């Protein structure tokens, strides 16, 4: 039992002992760096100040140490990245590589694949069945409407039925398109993203530099991320323009939706982004949202194309 759970237990121990000390040391180092950079001003305003390596009595003395701190400042981000990278490597080594974790991940992936397959089946049934029959009924009503004189009994009822059938055809076509668009299956991700941009009520510029077909799960996830983002732009952002970019680089696809709206987007207010984040996470990717008040809003998804 311990042999099976030992790595996870070891990570839990490190999480409450060594890792807080490491993050605390890095935080103290950054605070000391900032304090030494401000030392000339502090000495000028309040006189001698004590630092970790001694006491600074004069402004020139403090300026010398501030120059040293300034030269060391570019190394601070590298130290933070090194610590974060070490933490990530530790998690991958002790937790995410365990059979239990992999089983959960694969189970989520199978559920998403099954859900996508069911969506495609429903889309095919609607497109090849109900939608085609409705188109046939609409055509027959149109022929009957054109054959009947305007003052004939029942002409008004036939006209209303024809108009309603046409409206229902449009609604059903939009419903089928939202379930799983044919353009995504037939033409690929760039064409599907351009189609989303063309149908958006907000002007959208699409730059999709993805020259090859991606796995179906990845293409569908990227498509619905962009579709949800553009829907939110049209409904909530009060934006005048949006831009969609997609890039494929070294087996990773990155898609970004940017708008010039009012910002302040909150995933917790029912925007649909929480569900998208779960779906992106299940594919091994990550979804980030940057939406300060006043804008702009930037939604970015990064997914591996394994």
Asked if pLDDT for residue 227 goes beyond 90, the answer is no
* 245 vs 106, residue with greater confidence: 245
Q: What gap in Å lies between CA 215 and CA 31, rounded to an integer?
A: 46
Identify whether the C-beta of residue 206 lies closer than 8 Å to the C-beta of residue 193: yes
Length of the chain counted residue by residue: 306
**pLDDT (tens digit per residue) in 206-225:** 998 887 888 888 888 888 88
Identify whether the C-beta of residue 255 lies closer than 8 Å to the C-beta of residue 283: no
**pLDDT (tens digit per residue) in 59-71:** 787 788 788 878 8
Contacts of 273 (CB under 8 A, 6+ apart): 228, 232, 265, 267, 287, 289, 299
Identify whether the C-beta of residue 260 lies closer than 8 Å to the C-beta of residue 240: yes
DSSP, res 259: E
Q: What gap in Å lies between CA 223 and CA 229, rounded to an integer?
A: 10
Tell me the average pLDDT across 28-57.
Answer: 77
Asked if pLDDT for residue 1 goes beyond 50, the answer is no
The mean of the pLDDT values for the chain is 77
Domain spans of the chain, in order of start: 2-97, 111-180, 187-304
Beta strand 54-56 with 204-209 is unpaired
Considering the domain 187-304 in this protein, what is its CATH number?
3.30.565.10
Asked if pLDDT for residue 120 goes beyond 70, the answer is no
Ramachandran angles phi, psi of 277, nearest 5°: -60, -40
């Amino acid at each position: 039992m311990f042999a099976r759970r030992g790595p996870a237990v070891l990570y839990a121990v490190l999480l409450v002992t060594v890792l807080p000390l490491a993050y605390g040391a890095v935080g103290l180092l950054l605070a000391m760096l900032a304090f030494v950079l401000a030392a000339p001003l502090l000495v000028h305003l309040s006189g001698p100040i004590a630092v970790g390596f001694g006491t600074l009595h004069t402004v020139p003395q403090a300026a010398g140490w501030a120059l040293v701190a300034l030269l060391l400042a570019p190394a601070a981000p590298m130290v933070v990245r090194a610590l974060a990278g070490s933490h990530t490597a530790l998690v991958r080594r002790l937790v995410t590589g365990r059979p239990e974790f992999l089983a959960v991940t694969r189970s989520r992936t199978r559920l998403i694949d099954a859900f996508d397959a069911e969506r495609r089946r429903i889309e095919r049934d609607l497109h090849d069945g109900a939608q085609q029959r409705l188109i046939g009924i609409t055509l027959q009503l149109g022929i009957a409407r054109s054959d009947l004189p305007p003052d004939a009994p029942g002409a008004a009822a036939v006209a209303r039925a024809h108009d309603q059938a046409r409206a229902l055809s449009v609604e059903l076509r939009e419903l089928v398109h939202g379930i799983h668009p044919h353009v995504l299956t037939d033409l690929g991700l760039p064409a599907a993203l351009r189609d989303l941009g063309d149908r958006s009520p907000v002007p959208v510029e699409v730059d999709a530099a993805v020259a090859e077909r991606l796995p179906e799960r990845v293409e569908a996830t990227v498509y619905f991320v962009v579709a949800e983002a553009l829907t939110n732009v049209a409904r909530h952002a009060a934006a005048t323009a949006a831009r969609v970019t997609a890039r494929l680089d070294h087996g990773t696809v990155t898609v970004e939706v940017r708008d010039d709206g009012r910002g302040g987007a909150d995933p917790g207010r029912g925007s649909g982004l929480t569900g998208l984040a779960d779906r992106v996470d299940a594919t091994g990717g990550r979804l980030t949202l940057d939406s300060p008040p006043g804008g702009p809003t930037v939604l970015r998804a990064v997914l591996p194309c394994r």
